[in-house]
Amino acid sequence: MTNIRTKQLSVIGAIVLLVAFLFSRDIKGLVKPKEENGKGAPAAAQMAEAGPVAEISLKEVSTTAKNMISGGLSGEITALENTFNTAAEKDKAKTAKLLAQKWEDLEQAVPSALYLEIVAQREPDLKSWLAAGDQFLKAFDNSRDSLLQPALLQKANNAFSNAMKLDSTSNDAKTGLGITIVDGMGMPMQGIAMLMDVVKKDPKNLKANMSLGTFAIKSGQFDKAITRFKDVIAIKPAPDAYFYLATAYENLNRNEEAIAAYLESKRLAANPTLSKFIDERVLELKKKN
């Protein structure tokens, strides 16, 4: 029963993450046209360049997250936190892993990422730093907090940088680091070059291809985005890939193709919130035909 619930939470969380990501990005048809967006730079880039990033308080993050879950689950978390706080230094990583997984099961990516960072600091191997980096990126994409986002992105960048130091040939580390650079931790083209290098070596790398596709959309290169998302879909059809494909088609006024891609995204996601948004987009596009 626990495994089923965990799987359900994971699926729901993936859809929530998709919707949150879509609505937090400046993409025509979602927020506002690129022409109205000033410089067109990713918001995260502007935040990351604004100055020193504040440290994230694990205690505050945990308290906020516990207020969003049931009392019973909150009690379980508190018990694990007490175990962690009183554990000997050599045992803290073990409890931190349990807390990270518990928060992940509850789709609370920020505290989960912070505990994975603790694990990586105590067990600094490639796998640990990659896990922390991936979770910080997930937290960054899912967060709507403009103060928290740059700190999460910086932590993701740090985690993937540490992973690269351990294995400079790791495509996972290079992909993660490239994504953080594109999203604001450096010059975007530097990150694009890293992602392109990954795709050259591993053409079926989903994460690198998805990131290149979304950046193509954000930079107004919709033809390139279409090619990229078609490649992604050929590897693994997914609602987010079809959604972005539809968005690219819509920006090129290829409305019939956009409608078909939107509807496929809706079918695969089977999520009421996303379905409602897609139904509205499809209705508008049909009026234009």
51-186: CATH, from 3.20.20.10, 1.25.40.10, 3.90.280.10, 3.40.50.450: 1.25.40.10
- What is the rounded distance in angstroms from the CA atom of residue 158 to the CA atom of residue 129? 9
Check if the beta carbon of residue 28 is closer than 8 Å to that of residue 22.
no
* Torsional class of 73: left (φ above 0), alpha (ψ -120 to 50), beta (otherwise): alpha
- What is the rounded distance in angstroms from the CA atom of residue 202 to the CA atom of residue 171? 8
Task: Please determine whether the domains at 1-40+214-289 and 51-186 fall in the same fold group of CATH.
Answer: yes
97-122: pLDDT as tens digits: 999 999 999 999 999 999 999 999 99
- Per cent of the chain over pLDDT 70 is 81
pLDDT value of residue 117: 97
Where along the chain do its domains lie?
Answer: 1-40+214-289, 51-186
pLDDT of 144 strictly over 80: yes
- What is the rounded distance in angstroms from the CA atom of residue 39 to the CA atom of residue 224? 20
| pLDDT-derived band at 186, boundaries 50, 70, 90 | confident
Check if the beta carbon of residue 230 is closer than 8 Å to that of residue 261.
no
* Torsional class of 184: left (φ above 0), alpha (ψ -120 to 50), beta (otherwise): left
Q: Which amino acid is at 214?
A: T
Instruction: Provide the token pair at 215.
Output: 């950046």
- Per cent of the chain over pLDDT 90 is 71
Q: What's the CA dihedral at 189, 191, 197, 201 to 10 degrees?
A: -150
CATH 1.25.40.10 is the classification of domain 1-40+214-289:
yes
Angle formed at CA 131 by CA 265 and CA 155, multiple of 5 degrees:
95
